[in-house]
């Protein structure tokens, strides 16, 4: 039952302080090794972006040269190429501005986005990207969707259209969260900036794919392939320890009558693999991938085409967070947020170290229900995630203290002049309002917990005409007829007490709670 609370009360200040401490504890759980790993990924992505940009410039110059030699024939493709470059640059620069804003939010106005000091800051990315009014996350998603639609419309091949859509997908893999929340909510600055850099790399990749398609669309019969390039196309350069790293090893131009030999790190691949490379990741770190493709030319001479890259294996990191406080209360459902970055929610499972704490998924959350027998214990919530091959693996764990529910507060519920329900916890009250209250209720309603208790019995204490204090106890929650008659005959300014209130909560425990002083107004 919702009740207005004073945000400046000592209890509320204590709750706010506990939440700040909780956030700080989460920040401390992000190891420096993981943050340093993001730095390595960031450096590699910037190199990839530079390489893609150089490739795009070469393609653009070729398209411009063809236009200069035959403007009438190439005009349509040349003008589309200019539009692709302009729109790609706009989206790329917008993402760069967001990275710099996040860096400044974490490190101040003198921040260097390429050398962030507070890499573990968990608030900067959310403040920039997920602010309720001025958050940039929705704008970025809309910009990506617009750009993706434009780029997909530039090509005719359905397979390439699908590649572009998947490369710039804005679909959230976390149930109950949109795309921007899944990327930036409670995300360290190092990770958020790396994700944006990865998005910039995807923009450059899509730009290159569209430009190459425009170049090839001019007239494939007029222009012959005179250069072959070896390419490594990874499914992802960042994989979780225990999952598979996958990459396609291909040539940019292929003669279907000849099959190339593909060598990866000195080992020849089978021809039946069709260039699909898969290796097991058993440890964290940076791993090289050196590829050599041997292809016979039209003159029978075998040519070698070499390429190299790195892939990065990071340790699994899970987020386990209670949505109320950093404790679990016995006897009630405690919502908990559980997520593993890069793993779909359907592949994440959770269990408790104590059988007295029941865990089950519910929508985008998990519900922890401790029994009364676990009160006072420290229980660990263990998170497991399925890797790409379906193998379950422990991702993380977090310990929680099990506590008994605090005592509820008794109150009277009445209707005001507009018909709205009001709560009276003591003091002066109009007799007409008092008469509409059927009896005594009890609840915990402090802005965090919202739990109703059952009143088992109570008594009222009142003076008679001679000044003697009389007591009358009733079972249940409602006033007796005698109590109602006494209240009805009370003159203005008189008072009585409702005390010895016994209530039972969802944890099954009975407890006596504080009294209520009632002054008839």
My answer on whether 210 and 100 are in the same domain is: yes
Whether residue 20 lies inside any domain: the answer is no
In the predicted structure, residue 19 carries a pLDDT above the cut 50: no
For 138, the token pair is 């929705």
Cβ atoms < 10 Å from Cβ of 405: 20
pLDDT at position 342, please? 67
What range defines the domain where residue 290 resides? 225-315
Q: How far apart are CA 54 and CA 57, in angstroms?
A: 5
Cβ atoms < 10 Å from Cβ of 253: 12
Residue of 311, 30, 70 whose CA lies nearest to 191? 30
Whether residue 64 lies inside any domain: the answer is yes
pLDDT at position 499, please? 92
User: Which of 195, 223, 251 is the last residue before a domain boundary?
Assistant: 223
267's CB contacts (< 8 A; 6+ apart) are none
Q: For residue 93, what pLDDT band results from cuts at 50, 70 and 90?
A: very high
My answer on whether 211 and 100 are in the same domain is: yes
Task: Answer whether 78's CB lies under 8 Å from 63's CB.
Answer: yes
Q: For residue 238, what pLDDT band results from cuts at 50, 70 and 90?
A: low
Task: Answer whether 189's CB lies under 8 Å from 118's CB.
Answer: yes
What SS3 class is residue 442?
strand
Q: Tell me which residue has tokens 């990839």.
A: 48
**Tell me: the pLDDT tens digits for 393-449?**
888 888 999 999 989 999 999 988 888 888 899 999 888 888 888 889 999 886 677
Residue of 460, 469, 444, 451 whose CA lies nearest to 501? 460
**Tell me: the pLDDT tens digits for 195-236?**
898 899 999 999 999 999 888 887 644 434 456 667 776 665
Could you tell me the pTM of the whole model?
0.40
473's CB contacts (< 8 A; 6+ apart) are 457, 458, 459, 500
Q: What is the mean pLDDT of the chain?
A: 81
Whether residue 21 lies inside any domain: the answer is no
User: Which of 344, 374, 403 is the last residue before a domain boundary?
Assistant: 403
| Number of domains observed in the structure of the chain | 4
Rounded to 5°, the CA angle 328-333-339 comes to 75
User: Which of 385, 403, 421 is the last residue before a domain boundary?
Assistant: 403
**CATH number of the domain encompassing residue 332:** 2.60.40.1080
My answer on whether 251 and 298 are in the same domain is: yes
519's CB contacts (< 8 A; 6+ apart) are 427, 428, 429, 493, 494, 495
pLDDT at position 24, please? 44
My answer on whether 284 and 355 are in the same domain is: no
My answer on whether 107 and 172 are in the same domain is: yes
Rounded to 5°, the CA angle 231-236-237 comes to 80
């Amino acid at each position: 039952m919702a009740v207005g609370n004073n945000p400046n009360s000592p209890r509320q200040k204590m709750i706010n302080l506990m939440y700040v401490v909780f956030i700080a504890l989460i920040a401390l759980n992000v190891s420096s090794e993981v943050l340093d790993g993001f730095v390595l990924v960031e450096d590699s992505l910037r190199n990839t972006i530079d390489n893609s940009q150089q490739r795009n410039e070469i393609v653009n110059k070729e398209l411009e040269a063809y236009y200069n030699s035959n403007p009438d024939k190439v005009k349509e493709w040349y003008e589309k190429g200019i539009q692709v470059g302009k729109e790609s640059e706009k989206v790329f620069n917008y993402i760069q501005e967001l990275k710099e804003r996040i860096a400044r939010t974490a490190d101040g106005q003198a921040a260097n986005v390429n050398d962030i000091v507070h890499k573990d800051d968990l608030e900067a990315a959310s403040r920039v990207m997920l602010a309720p009014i001025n958050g940039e996350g929705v704008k970025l998603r809309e910009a990506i969707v617009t750009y993706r639609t434009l780029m997909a419309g530039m090509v005719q091949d359905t397979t390439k259209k699908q590649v572009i859509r998947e490369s710039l997908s804005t679909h959230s893999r976390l149930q109950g969260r949109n795309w921007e929340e899944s990327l930036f909510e409670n995300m360290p600055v190092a990770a958020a900036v790396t994700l944006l850099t990865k998005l910039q790399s995807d923009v450059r990749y899509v730009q290159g794919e569209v430009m190459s398609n425009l170049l090839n669309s001019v007239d494939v019969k007029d222009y012959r392939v005179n250069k072959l390039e070896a390419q490594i196309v990874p499914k992802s350069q960042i994989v979780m320890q225990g999952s598979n790293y996958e990459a396609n090893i291909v040539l940019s131009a292929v003669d279907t009558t000849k099959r190339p030999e593909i060598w990866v790190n000195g080992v020849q691949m089978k021809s039946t693999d069709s260039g699909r490379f898969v290796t097991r990741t058993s440890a964290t770190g940076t791993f090289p991938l050196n590829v050599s493709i041997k292809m016979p030319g039209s003159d029978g001479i075998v040519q070698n085409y070499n390429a190299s890259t790195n892939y990065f294996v990071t340790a699994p990191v899970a987020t386990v967070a209670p949505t109320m406080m950093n404790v679990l209360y016995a006897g009630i459902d405690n919502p908990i947020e559980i997520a593993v970055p890069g793993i779909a929610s359907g592949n994440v499972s959770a269990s408790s170290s104590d059988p007295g704490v029941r865990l089950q998924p519910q929508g985008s959350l998990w519900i922890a229900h401790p029994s009364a027998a676990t009160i006072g214990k420290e229980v660990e919530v263990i998170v497991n995630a399925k890797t790409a091959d379906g193998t379950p693996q422990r991702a993380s764990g977090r310990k929680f203290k099990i506590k008994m529910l605090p005592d509820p507060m008794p109150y009277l519920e009445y209707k005001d002049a507009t018909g709205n329900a009001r709560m009276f916890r003591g003091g002066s009250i109009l007799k007409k309002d008092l008469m509409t209250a059927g009896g005594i209720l009890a609840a915990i309603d402090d802005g965090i917990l919202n739990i109703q208790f059952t009143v088992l019995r109570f008594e009222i204490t009142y003076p008679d005409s001679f000044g003697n204090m009389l007591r009358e106890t009733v079972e249940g929650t409602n006033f007796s007829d005698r109590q109602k008659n006494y209240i009805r005959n009370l003159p203005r300014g008189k008072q009585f007490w409702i005390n010895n209130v016994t209530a039972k909560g969802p944890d099954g425990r009975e407890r006596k709670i504080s009294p209520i002083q009632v002054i008839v107004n």
